[in-house]
A and B are shown apart, each in its own frame.
Chain A
Amino acid sequence: MHDPKFEKEVQQKMAELEFSPSESVWANVDAAINGRRRRRAGLFWRFALPGLLLVAGGAWYFLQEAPSKTAATAVTHAPAANGTTRTSDNNKTSSGTNNSTLSSNKTTPKGTNAMGNSTSADNSATPGNSSSTGNSTATNKSTPADKSAPADKSTNSATTGRPREGSAVAVIPARKGAGASSTHSPDPFTADAKTGSIGSDDLNGTNSGNVNRNAAFNPALASLHSGLSPIRAGKLESKAATTTVKTLSKPRNPWEAGFAGGAGISSLHQMKLANYSLVQSDLPASQTAANAITTYAARPTKEYVSTVDPGPAFWLGIVAQKRLGPRWNFSVGLDFHYYSNRVHVGQQVSGYTPSSATFLTAQAVAPIQSYPYYSRGDEQSYMNRYYFLELPVAIEWRINRSHLLPLYLDGGFSASYLVGASAVYYNTHSGVYFKDAGVANRTQFNLNTALMVGLPVQKIRVLVGPQIQYSLTPLLNTDVSGPQHIFYGGIRLVVMPGKK
């Protein structure tokens, strides 16, 4: 037993040891404790902003989806004559055009539909009578008169010079003379129609009455019934066609939004620890003096490693998907992930009550619970918990063509950020478990894959199947525990509302 005289002298001398810290220390401390809230707010927006954008994108998509479906319905029910029907779902057609159409229809011998806003008007094209829809769809049925009129055919062919998918209904042209407020650029699809002629007075609004107005729509009828001077039908047709084509050629938004989630188990994949051996040249120069006095031998060749038991894990998020081809989809998302695992530890070392402490009281020591240590052993298990925000990017491939149970293989990459953790880490050198969030790599890069099957649910696309994910980035930024990687396996569920 040593005489404590030496220790007492050392204690007294060390109690007097003081140095003046540099100014940067307080500056950093101040920034850390008072700038903490600001940093957290920045962190929140870093992840919330992409999330909000995704949600807004999804909402925009669903809001955009409704009108186009209405148009598609009209197209379906409109009988196409001569294959020349077209669809217009352009609700922006001017009211002036609509009104002129109504007035012209009222004056026809067989007043047909005066439908300002109705969809799918099926007009029998009796002489001097044609469909008239201002901001809606209509069908122009061919009649013998129409068929006998070459001009009509030419007009129709001009109008439908380039058949488009889902095309259906004719459109009333916007006319300046009739008070049309909408103007359209020339349509390249109607180049042939420019050779046709319709009374030019009609353009100027000098000819009143339904005939001319209908002629504006159908130059053949104009020539049959009134023999008016030819006008540049092509110009009018081109305007009408422009309206139509503009609407139809608007690309359909290929992005779809939905929800994704999953549940399963996660664990830490731990590679075998390398043997540590101290090489003299590896030591910092500052320690050379110490090493000159003491000599080190090789380190133990086997390190203690606790078994890591898997723990429950789940994730939730939103996903946006774009179709790349008949069998390929591309998706991005924003997810919240929870992983956990269990490690076996010994007793917690937190009640440091020095037996010979001179300046510490038990009360002073007791509140310090923020540095728990656990000795190694199997006396208890500690559940490590990790919370990540993740941005996944994936490609989905449809394996089969079955409509009943389509199979999809999904593979991708994700970047995740550790937003919180409650975990202990094993230090192979000192042989204790300790809790320190600073040693974790906050940014992780992962690989994931899933095999999913599409479920037959009405009007909703539901995919479910097994998924695995492996973190490429080591969990810790030091080698105190060896290169540990998070591994996740579970069931993945993707729900895409509004899509079958």
Chain B
Amino acid sequence: MALIEVRNLVKKFDDKAVLKGINIDLHQGNSKVLMGTSGCGKSTLLRCLNLLIQPTSGQIIFKGEDITRPGVDVRKVREDIGFVFQHFALYRHLTVEENVTLGLRKIKKMKSKEAVEKASHELNRVGMFEHRNKYPAQLSGGQKQRAAIVRALAMDPAVLFLDEPTSALDPQMSREVVTVINKLFLDNITMFCVTHDAFLAKYISDSIVFMDDGVIVAEDIAERLFYESVDPRIKQFFLSVIDHR
């Protein structure tokens, strides 16, 4: 059974359908990257999957439970889904360590000492321990994104969602973050990542899902999708993003 099963997912904003019947599965230990042109519905899909956006119709089965049904415990669902944002979204009044421990203390109900130990362990994993007492304003973009990844991972989520994790970074900082996410990929962390970054996609994915105009057009491993696809939309897209790099 898949960790996440999406069936005929539709999302409309007023009359405009952004997702037009999405079907996709994500298995435990699997990493999928979602690519496609801007406005094709990638980020909307990601936000629907953890109910930040309420889908119009369709089903999302997460760990065997339909989370689109009324009365679902949204907090419990979100607790189990780590989310990393394009612009980091660190709480800027808190230090790196406090950013990581806040959820552990308030949501996981961990004692402060235990939360700090957990945070220190996770920060060490991505080389951020020495920056634990800094505030977001004192960090570089790459450091902010690594801290944001740690904040999500520390909650021990069943799956990690990443929404364009490198697109707000310059190439050097982007490499820094790709290295960290690649490490997670090699550790078999279940991930679902939205990106335009072909380099990131290649190094962190078991398969790449290509979306266009609210529908999934193809799903395949990176090399085949990048270089062998005959679909003109896919060819055009990868030609531009790969050439761009």
Q: Do A and B originate from a single complex?
A: no
